[in-house]
Structure 1
């Protein structure tokens, strides 16, 4: 049953929307939103529904700055601090979870990558990973994907923020006709994520 709640963090309250796994020991996918967006983004909702329908659990996390009504994102360190606090509290509340996978879209994907090892994640799902600012390929963020964990990147081929190259442990799926918002075919994007999780035995 879906459960909405708030979790206190050092940066203010974060909001969670929890759909728990259908069975004890199941996989829980924790997803964050983009810099100026929210957890109702079409790709996040589609991924949630696909994972939930396959028996997995999903938590959609709203960062404290958005809960407070601000659109301008908090500094990266503040985002990471709040995210880490949310994961710690979720682990306390859900001790029977078998596997934790973290991810998000755009800025949320970066946060998940930067903190994945610290929160004990098994893998990362990065939607619309912003490889570089538009028009600035010299400012690559590719190193953030080097978590050492199995990582799925799903980007559109028309994304002005660029598309990362595959690397060791990093699988990149390029969605034709999609831009940064991945709005053209959310169910197709969700199926890519579901299939990747299932291929690792993380979903039934």
Structure 2
């Protein structure tokens, strides 16, 4: 079952696209979009389909700056503030779902990591995590992955933003032939996420 809604935040309204499984949800997975993209990116749609099929409720969140029609991303603090407000509302709305998972692609993955502890998330799905700006490996963002929570990173081996190294609690899967957009085989990327969710006990077998 699909539904769309808006949730007010201190940075303006955010839009949510909710897809529920046929039976009771085993977990709630909330996904954010990339800096200049939207929630209809191929990898996000494929992950939604795969997760819903194994009993996970999925909510894709459009940040307020995109709802307002702007392409340039808001500052990190504004993104985190809006995301945290949306997560609080979603937890109330889906209070019967036992587990909250957060994630997204690129910028959305960074927001999910930075706010995971504050939102009470149990795990993180990071698609195309941008380890550093292209050509600037010295500006690493690896510390954002050190949340202490089970985290899945799925990056392409041709991603100019780099590929993080695995760490404590951080599983990294590198997809061959994929760039930053993970567009070549979204279904394969989604299968990696589905299998990880199952392995963590957050999805139906």
Q: Pick the TM interval, shorter chain.
A: over 0.9
Q: In structure 1, what is the Cα distance between the partners aligned to 2:95 and 2:168?
A: 31
Q: In structure 1, what is the Cα distance between the partners aligned to 2:22 and 2:121?
A: 20
**1:41-86 Cα distance to aligned partner (Å, 9 max, x none):** 0000000000011111100000000000000000000000000000
Q: CA deviation at 1:25?
A: 5.4
**1:60-119 Cα distance to aligned partner (Å, 9 max, x none):** 000000000000000000000000000000011111011110000000000000000100
Number of residue pairs aligned between Structure 1 and Structure 2: 204
Tell me if the contact between 1:26 and 1:97 (Cα under 8 Å) persists in the aligned partners: yes
Instruction: Check 1:188–1:163 CA distance in 2 against 1; reply closer, same or farther (3 A cut).
Output: same
Corresponding position of 1:67:
67
Point out where structure 2 has 5 or more consecutive residues left out of the alignment: none
Aligned residue for 1:118, secondary structure, equals helix
- 1:9-158 residue pairs with structure 2 within 5 A? 9-24=9-24, 26-158=26-158
Aligned residue for 2:18, secondary structure, equals strand
Tell me if the contact between 2:25 and 2:56 (Cα under 8 Å) persists in the aligned partners: no
Aligned residue for 1:116, secondary structure, equals helix
Point out where structure 1 has 5 or more consecutive residues left out of the alignment: none
Q: Does 1:162 align with 2:162?
A: yes
Instruction: Check 1:43–1:25 CA distance in 2 against 1; reply closer, same or farther (3 A cut).
Output: closer
Corresponding position of 1:187:
187
Tell me if the contact between 1:100 and 1:120 (Cα under 8 Å) persists in the aligned partners: yes
Tell me if the contact between 1:21 and 1:27 (Cα under 8 Å) persists in the aligned partners: no
Q: In structure 1, what is the Cα distance between the partners aligned to 2:20 and 2:88?
A: 16
**1:131-157 Cα distance to aligned partner (Å, 9 max, x none):** 000000000000000000000000000
Corresponding position of 2:199:
199
Q: State the TM-score, normalized to the length of structure 2.
A: 0.98
Tell me if the contact between 1:46 and 1:186 (Cα under 8 Å) persists in the aligned partners: yes
Q: In structure 1, what is the Cα distance between the partners aligned to 2:156 and 2:24?
A: 35
Tell me if the contact between 2:25 and 2:57 (Cα under 8 Å) persists in the aligned partners: no
